[in-house]
Amino acid sequence: MLKGAIHVHSTYSDGEFRLSELRDIFVSAGCSFVCMTDHAEFFDRDKMEAYKSECRTLSDDKFRFIPGVEYTCRERMHVLAFGVTSAVAATDPQEVIRHIKSETGVAVIAHPMDSAFDWIESFETLPDGIETWNTKYDGRFAPRPATFALLNRLQKRVPGMRAFYGIDLHWKKQYRGLFNIVGSDELAPESILAAMAKGDYFASKGGMELPSNGLLPRTLLDEFARVQKRYARKRQVIKKTKRLIDRIGFTLPAPLKAQLRRIF
């Protein structure tokens, strides 16, 4: 079994950590791998080669970076490409998903907005999975039960679709305690990705384990709903306060922003 983290950004796109810093952080947390997903639009050919080269240089027989990207599609939909770094001109998410699959990568719709659920359900080409918990968007305390319900509806068409659990790491003070435990003893990227594709993993946060099929007990979903309701109220207060601050032209001090990121 290998412990790792998925959906991570670096200074190659809009993250605050260098790759070398990320290695130190996750090795210290007991991780053997990290799936990188820097934003595709930040790269040209030379920068991508440098990115992949540094991922290789910082990998060894104890820890592996698996380079990938996050594609920005129309309607602000994002698609994670685990193990794929090639450019694609399309902004239609279904075309992007087909591109990722053609490159033998793992395609995951990231942090889907509630307003996009109906659209996703209309897709003829579905991804390998849905990011059912993104601790940056959903918060560190609980995912949105509605995202699991979306996945469960899609599984009626594609039973092998998976629930993915990402930290969407950008900031130095951001929460990063959600991990993935993969049932592979081989550190080769292709072995880790193959295990993820077939659902041979589970998410771990504290003492809680969440399955790759996203089928959760009703009691746990109800608890998540209660926590999300409290979290949503706090987030609304912060958003309203930020809009007010923006209107008066005041900029929040960086240390205060960092502390707010730690809360959620």
What are the pLDDT digits (tens) for 113-169?
999 999 999 999 999 999 999 999 999 999 999 999 999 999 999 999 999 999 999
Distance CA 144, CA 133 (A): 7
Distance CA 38, CA 239 (A): 26
Coil, strand, or helix at residue 203?
Answer: strand
Q: Dihedral through CA 163, CA 203, CA 11, CA 84, nearest 10?
A: -50
Average pLDDT over residues 191-199: 97
pLDDT at 249: 72
The lowest-confidence range among 23-37, 86-100, 210-224, 246-260 is 246-260
pLDDT(260) > 70: no
Coil, strand, or helix at residue 103?
Answer: coil
pLDDT at 245: 67
pLDDT(107) > 90: yes
Phi/psi at 176 (5° precision): -150, 45
C-beta separation of 8 from 31 below 8 A: no
CA 200, 40, 257, 230 torsion-angle sign: negative
pLDDT at 24: 98
CATH architecture of 2-219: Alpha-Beta Barrel (3.20)
Q: State the pairing for strand pair 129-134/162-166.
A: parallel
List the domain boundaries for the chain.
2-219
Mean per-residue pLDDT over the chain, rounded: 93
Beta sheet of 69-72, edge-to-edge order: 38-39, 69-72, 78-82, 106-110, 129-134, 162-166
Average pLDDT over residues 195-215: 97
User: For 45-64, how does the pLDDT look when each residue is reduced to its tens digit (9 = 90+)?
Assistant: 999 999 999 999 999 999 99
Residue 238 pLDDT level (bands cut at 50, 70, 90): low
pLDDT at 248: 77
pLDDT at 21: 98
pLDDT at 231: 80
pLDDT at 263: 52
pLDDT(264) > 60: no
Helical ranges in the chain per DSSP H:
19-28, 45-57, 93-102, 117-121, 145-154, 189-197, 218-247, 254-263
Average pLDDT over residues 20-44: 98
Q: What percent of the chain lies above the pLDDT cut of 70?
A: 89
Look up the pTM and report it: 0.91
pLDDT(33) > 80: yes
Distance CA 196, CA 213 (A): 11
